[in-house]
Amino acid sequence: MKYLLKFMFRRPVITIFVVYSSVIIILNYLGYFSVQNRSNIFKLFKDNRNVLVEGKVISEPYVTRKIKKFVLKTISINDTKIEESVLANAPIGYLIKYGDIISVEGKLYRPASAKDINAFDYQKYLERNEIFFVLKIYSFEYIKSQPNIIKKIAINLKNDVVNKIDNYFLYPNSAILKSLVIGDKTSLDQKIKSSFSDSGVIHILVVSGLHVGFASVIILFILRLFCIPLNKASLISIPFIFFYAVSTGANAPAMRSAIMLACIFVSLSLDREPLIYNSIALSALIILIFKPQDLFLASFQMSYLATLGIVFLYSKIFGLFKNVKNSILNFFCGVASVTTSAQLALTPILMFYFSKVSVVSFFANIIVVPLTGIVLGCAIVFYISTFLFKGLAMIIAYILNLFINFIVCVTTFFGNFNFSSIVVNKPAVLELLLFYIFIFFIFNFKKEKRIIFSSAILGLNLFLI
């Protein structure tokens, strides 16, 4: 008890996060976050009802299955003032852009829920993102445009990057580069997705913490070239990191990583010891204050588990290679340590959500992850050079093509193994907790305590099975 009180006093942010998260879990169990309590549309309108809606387009529209999709923040429904986000589906020919305020006629309906308990529940996923209804649009009328200026600039930048890539690269490399750099997956075909998925590196095609992390390193490197001290460079880099996250579509993993890095960089800029666990807890707390339902999203859990796994395990695993003196081998040992740390933290949660584990992802990630950082850095130089030296842009484009071709070869090689992934039984929540406690004991305690506590956890787990 004395040790626990001492920890709570020394790490107040972690304590607040744990308490706040526990409250969210209890409220969720009691039904506080149900659609009946949170949706005004649900209270006032029946399902499958034709309505007249005025609202603002708050996401960049994208096309899938010949339908234009976007998030519409309602202003009024049938002349009743209601502010709530709905997922809008419109005909592909409608000229609708981010920031437009429009009046539409359509039908409101609830998205279908999963029939199989182990299947992905699209309805629940939307509800976690505070979207409870889908609006099928039959007609629309443009009223005016009122975009957020910063987000509008970021979207225009993203579209310009897309155009530049299309001008200099041929398919499928153009599709892969757009997805890898800015998260534009609209031109990726299923064959490419399957190849990257089977080899366990599909995450590089979704802008997430990995990409934001690489971007922050590149930004810091550029600032340091101007002899700016690290603490000041850390603070200056924060707006650029958020701008990159927004320009890639402001998806949740990218924004979470930007907030996490911002908390760490603020700590660095204040010339204080960067208490990494406090910084991580603070970033999670900030996110959950505004979006408490994120706690139950797989992407949220995986983002933080991967980060915690790397922070907690990297130095311990890398220490096993302390006798390696060769600089090249030492680099790959470092990459292997990062990959192993993240994989150990993520494997149980991947089993829980997807009932599948990639056998080859460890080896594929050792090769592909470092290349992702190189490609991202080259892509930034390529984009800048398209405005200054088109000849240099063509040279960098050629180099990027070589890197992308190599990444495709790696994903194809590992993805073609018959045993690239195996199906497993979905573990119980208690089994997940026991696994993480076991990992903590194995890597944190000395010999005697490690044997006693880890054996107790293994015995309890076997008893539950």
* Count of Cβ atoms closer than 10 Å to residue 214 Cβ: 20
Closest Cα to residue 173, out of 414, 403, 385, 413? 403
Burial of 175 (0-12, 13-18, 19+ CB in 10 A): buried
- 278 shares a domain with 419: yes
Q: Is residue 400 included in any domain, yes or no? A: yes
Give CA–CA dist 218/465, Å, rounded.
Answer: 47
Q: Is residue 370 included in any domain, yes or no? A: yes
Contact indicator for 349, 301 with CB cutoff of 8 Å: yes
Task: Tell me the residue length of the chain.
Answer: 465
Give CA–CA dist 167/382, Å, rounded.
Answer: 12
SS (HEC) of 254-275: HHHHHHHHHHHHHHHHCCCCCC
- 226 shares a domain with 131: no
- 46 shares a domain with 12: no
- 24 shares a domain with 71: no
| Radius of gyration for the alpha carbons in the chain, expressed in angstroms and rounded | 24
- 293 shares a domain with 198: yes
Burial 91-112 (b: 16+ CB within 10 A, else e): eeebebebbbbbebebbbebbe
- 403 shares a domain with 451: no
pTM summary value? 0.79
* CA angle at 353 for the pair 368 and 39, rounded to the nearest 5°: 115
- 68 shares a domain with 177: no
Give CA–CA dist 377/395, Å, rounded.
Answer: 14
- Both tokens of 438, joined, read 């076991």
Choosing from 105, 122, 147, the residue where a domain stops is: 147
Sites in the chain below the pLDDT cut of 70: 1-10, 46-47, 114, 116-119, 270-274, 420, 443-465
**DSSP letter, residue 45:** S
Choosing from 147, 181, 204, the residue where a domain stops is: 147
Give CA–CA dist 304/284, Å, rounded.
Answer: 8
Q: Is residue 21 included in any domain, yes or no? A: yes
Residue type, 433: L
Q: Is residue 152 included in any domain, yes or no? A: no
Q: Is residue 170 included in any domain, yes or no? A: yes
Q: Is residue 76 included in any domain, yes or no? A: yes
- 249 shares a domain with 133: no
- 123 shares a domain with 269: no
- Both tokens of 350, joined, read 């991947």
* Count of Cβ atoms closer than 10 Å to residue 420 Cβ: 17
Q: In Å, how far are 25, 34, 109, 202, 391 from 123, measured between CA atoms?
A: 19, 12, 11, 24, 49
Q: Under 8 Å CB-to-CB from 223, ≥6 apart: which residues?
A: 233, 236, 237
State the total domains in the chain: 4
- Both tokens of 391, joined, read 């000849």
- 175 shares a domain with 270: yes
- 232 shares a domain with 94: no
Contact indicator for 196, 216 with CB cutoff of 8 Å: no
Q: Which domain holds residue 117?
A: 39-147
Q: In Å, how far are 373, 375, 381 from 218, measured between CA atoms?
A: 9, 12, 11
- 185 shares a domain with 96: no
